[in-house]
Chains A and B, each alone.
Chain A
Amino acid sequence: MADFRRLVAASLLAGILAGLLLSILQHYQTLPLILAAERFETPDPGHVHDWQPEDGWQRNLLTVLFNGLTGFGFALLLTGAMYWRGDGGYQRGLAWGVGGYLVFFAAPSLGLPPELPGTDSAALHSRQAWWLFTAVATGIGLSGLFLSQNRLLQIAGAILLIVPHLIGAPHPAVIHASAPEALQHSFVLMSSISNGLFWLTLGGLSGWLLPKFTL
């Protein structure tokens, strides 16, 4: 399992670096919008609030930790898949990064756009189920379309890409958001940009580091 340790090491480095970049981008692009949206939320007077991080370094540090850990997790998926296929180098890595962005951000966001706090949506579990189903279908679909030489598998892959959107994401009958619509639009735009840069960096770094660790 020496190779597994090398995959972990390459992924850890790529994940931490890309996670740091994402944290910096979010600090300037999405966090101000989240904080602004929270000012529109009306607090429920009967509701006792559990512990939550204090605004400032505590809140930012936890976001950096979250981004580093998810970066590590996503990098493990990329390096594991590249290792299987014998892929390496930053150019191949960038292509895998684009794939990761489509699977884990773009495709789920088509049905369930990134939301600011204070937005009423359908039940959490139904949204999570659709999100997960869309990510799995998009992942398998892209693999069939781009990694297979078999025409039938390519067609099946293309169909799989569309199926979650034909079914449609769960939405409540009446949509209510406490933050103004303009704020929500900026949030979708800003998180699309920051996550895109994150995935390109993560893919490029994973591809570049993988041969250095596994040779």
Chain B
Amino acid sequence: MKTLAASTAISCSKFLPGLSAIVLGLSIVLGLGFLQDANSYLHNAAHDGRHSAAFPCH
């Protein structure tokens, strides 16, 4: 019982740092891959990378 409580405590303390990393990662990836049609400067700057990474473009 004690072990179970301890392991749950560890996963709770691990929850927030892991979630923060994943949320930040998703914002970066989706921002770069998807918000490109809002601004033609950004679109043209990231053009070759987006084509090669198979993100939808144009």
Contacts and interface: CB of A to CB of B under 8 A. Distances in A.
8 contacts: A34-B52, A62-B46, A76-B21, A76-B28, A105-B53, A114-B52, A119-B58, A132-B30
Which label, helix, strand, loop or mixed, suits the secondary structure of the A interface?
A: helix
Given A52-B44, A80-B25, A81-B22, A30 B14 contact: no
Question: How many B residues touch the partner, as a band?
Answer: 35 or more
A168 interface: no
Interface string A1-39: 101100110010000000000100010001100100000
Interface in A182-213: 191, 194-195
Given A4-B16, A84-B18, 6 more contacts: A30-B48, A69-B28, A73-B28, A114-B54, A131-B56, A132-B30
A7 B56 contact: no
Contacts of A51: 40-41, 44
A182 B11 CA distance: 51
B48 A77 contact: no
A50 to B, nearest CB: 4
B52 A26 contact: yes
Contacts of B21: 4, 7-8, 11, 76-77, 79-80, 83
